Structure 1
């Protein structure tokens, strides 16, 4: 029961990241560069302080931190920039669709031979992404925003894979945030640094609470569940984000997005619940 509650809190935190970023950036309260920098800085300060108060040592000078810092940077940069044009729910759908397909491919490459059911499910999910990303007059997706969110999905997949071996989730997440902060500052120093009080507040909440503490909790939860289960529960995030985006931000849920969501969630769910 405790694991279920912690997992539910984590998934809501992930969905909240999309809502907070969309409301702050698209709402004109803060530029994507400033939002990303403040988000990571708030997360780094929160996690670093908690880790030090616990007497833990932040594992900064380790080779594995390179993967964590670089993948987190790719995620943060793509995520913040993409929400200049994408709706919260649509962005979450692309993010987690790309993430799960990437993790599925990684498992296959590293020796976990996929079954026919897994391949079928992955193909269905991929078709859902193609549907929502397909260019043309009826397209609901901005190409640049979609490309940036795909980058974020690749970064989050690498970050999740690397996090499965974290001995101290909170200290590891804090170290990743600290190391990726200068990378993000350099990459986004010209990408909208203006901000008002509302934008700064949303960025700090997103960084300190739904990102920093949320990711640390996710690293902790990951160690208590199988890889397939971890993939399944993440499929709830786009659904939560789509519903919350429509209710809280007034976003329009088109039939194409609904069909694509059904294909992505259903395909990956079918794939990762295979017996093998």
Structure 2
């Protein structure tokens, strides 16, 4: 259990670092969104290929899938463009609220029956997300919000595909490698339109090789141990870390709206996760013994 919690926590910190690094590079014009995305995906592919090659004990080949690669590429591209218009914490909250909604929809569609308490928790989280997104003082940019929602739905698809992985490192490597031709194309476009600075390169490589490549591998390894609903809720811890990081490293203000929305979303998450665990325990306790 301790190992699972550690792996999950490191993956979530990697996700938060992605938001901070992306915002740091794009908000200060150290790189453009297309070039940043390309460098991020390419560096992730290179780093993961090296890690996979260094693993000993058995032969490994990159696997992955076209569906996983498409979800990964869509997430990375819309994520970067969306962060041109959003603060680190706000973007992360929109992203992972959208992930939650996408995974919850798929869970219900697949026949998973949620308890009333889980629905209440989701309703609270969704209402607070609406509070964040509604027009008014300090509301996020509508275009940026829409792009980040699309990125979140792509990440939900990627997470759901990852739950069936038997080799998280090989699958993650394969997905990044399948994105590589498109990543190189984006990098070339970025170099022509707005060559990144050294800081831009460092942020993109750090995001791709460490926060994304290693972070996704850890998340893929943890995913089979969680239900779809719990996996969706766990990822909503990321906006808190991204908000704190944005304030510390980017001097982004933490508004009352963001504080209230984050508190409500995470409160709903805690309620739903606890209710889901109780539901699974009751199901196990009432399950008939195997003959």
Residues 11-69 of structure 1 deviation map (CA, whole Å, 9 limit, x = unaligned): 11111000000001111100011100000000001112222333311125xxxx12201
Name the structure 2 match of 1:119: 119
SS at match of 1:235: helix
| 1:149 positional shift | 0.6
Aligned mates of 1:268, 1:107 — CA distance in 2: 16
Name the structure 2 match of 1:165: 164
List structure 1 segments (4+ residues) > 6 angstroms apart after TM superposition: none
Aligned mates of 2:273, 2:233 — CA distance in 1: 7
Larger radius of gyration: 2
Conservation of the 8 A alpha-carbon contact between 2:120 and 2:272: yes
| 1:243 positional shift | 1.2
Name the structure 2 match of 1:96: 96
1:220-235 alignment, distance < 5 Å: 220-235=221-236
Name the structure 1 match of 2:200: 199
| 1:6 positional shift | 1.9
> Aligned-pair RMSD on alpha carbons?
1.9
Residues 119-153 of structure 1 deviation map (CA, whole Å, 9 limit, x = unaligned): 222222111121111124x2420111111110110
Name the structure 2 match of 1:180: 179
Aligned mates of 1:217, 1:258 — CA distance in 2: 29
Conservation of the 8 A alpha-carbon contact between 2:38 and 2:185: no
Mark the CA change 1:111 to 1:139 in structure 2 (over 3 Å): closer, same or farther. same
Conservation of the 8 A alpha-carbon contact between 1:21 and 1:203: yes
Task: Give the structure with the larger helix fraction.
Answer: 2
Conservation of the 8 A alpha-carbon contact between 1:100 and 1:268: no
Mark the CA change 1:263 to 1:24 in structure 2 (over 3 Å): closer, same or farther. same
Out of 75-84 and 6-15, give the one that drifted further: 6-15
Aligned mates of 1:113, 1:103 — CA distance in 2: 13
Name the structure 1 match of 2:62: 58
Does residue 1:82 correspond to 2:56, yes or no? Answer: no
Out of 257-266 and 38-47, give the one that drifted further: 257-266
Aligned mates of 1:189, 1:242 — CA distance in 2: 32
Conservation of the 8 A alpha-carbon contact between 1:20 and 1:206: yes
Aligned mates of 2:106, 2:87 — CA distance in 1: 28
Q: How many residues align?
A: 271
TM-score scaled to structure 2, two decimals? 0.87
Name the structure 2 match of 1:17: 18
Aligned mates of 1:112, 1:2 — CA distance in 2: 27
The gaps in structure 2 that reach 5 residues or longer are 280-291
Residues 163-191 of structure 1 deviation map (CA, whole Å, 9 limit, x = unaligned): 01111101100111111233455678757
Aligned mates of 1:20, 1:114 — CA distance in 2: 36
Residues 68-94 of structure 1 deviation map (CA, whole Å, 9 limit, x = unaligned): 011111110111011111110111111
SS at match of 1:20: helix
| 1:193 positional shift | 4.2
TM-score scaled to structure 1, two decimals? 0.92
Name the structure 1 match of 2:9: 8
Does residue 1:44 correspond to 2:48, yes or no? Answer: no
Conservation of the 8 A alpha-carbon contact between 1:47 and 1:174: yes
Conservation of the 8 A alpha-carbon contact between 1:32 and 1:193: no
